[in-house]
Structure 1
């Protein structure tokens, strides 16, 4: 069995990662595959927290949200992340993984309120903790929430799951000669305006010396290889 290189990590999942090939919503086969990957990592003894986006849900109502106040639209997006968190919790439960969803917004009848000491205790007990509703504030992305929660729980690394297997010198879908970086600094990522995470998230991780690993969630076994310290994806560090 592989030996994990990290004891505690935070996984950032975009809502779009749950869509599979669908236009919006949650693709059942896709979420089941992801839960299998998460189950495999947790079985290694890794303490895993998840920040999940809501773009897949919000995309279905986006046409009707055109012209809407930005803060209102952001709150709708936060509620979409709660829906995704509940879906992920249910799928993980079916895999025998004990999971708790904590929300930055008060929705006590549905999910717990985010409380840092409780989240830490859950992680130490081997439970997966899903952080929903972003930071609880408009104008901040779930990328920034991932950086913030990662720092708060003392994660050793933020794992940014994307559609591509790392950061490239150019768009690999358009340029066949694009090369993947094995590692890059936060300053380079910010200066080059790499659209992997927003600048606020990069700056927060840089200031907290919290490395980010960018990898493809669509590659079978990629999550396990990342937590085991293998050459997978791109490492962003100070």
Structure 2
């Protein structure tokens, strides 16, 4: 974003690597939807923490007699899916609500649906998948109680995350349908190129700073989308 210094992920200043994204829910998200965005962000953090805990569970799984590949895959899940889930489904819904973007809503629905399916498969705990799920945990309750107890928190958290993801998907879908959103709107944004420039999009729904350059955002509250679904969780 022009004029804004990236602040996420928060990295120590002594590192040469700098944050990749600018994120400010308080300033960029309409006030009536800040709680929803914060909850989705919290869900991402819980999922990432679960993947961290899964590495520990897979070490216990390996020590109890399973394959070393489960530990290797658990590291792959953590390194790959923790950052990719932020980029691939949290950022789209953040940008969708920030700028009333049908294209980003559709991107979120498609990717997040696949995430829910993946989380459900992870809950199962299939062997050689590198995830401590129900099948693996129950099996070790019969053969190695200590390993099963270490694996159980990951299994419970994965189950919780899957349920919460499904609830978020339903909630966001109701939110989007409340503004009359559709696939046709997403195709129009794609064809016009407004999906990648919030300033162009805001020309129809809000006020833009005439001195702004680059990808500026619509000024709230003038451009707050008229979402009609105000029901709670």
**Shorter-chain TM-score: which interval?**
under 0.3
Provide TM-score, normalisation by structure 1.
0.24
Q: Which has the higher helix share?
A: 2
Question: Which has a greater percent of strand?
Answer: 1
Higher RCO, 1 vs 2 (CA within 8 Å, ≥6 residues apart): 1
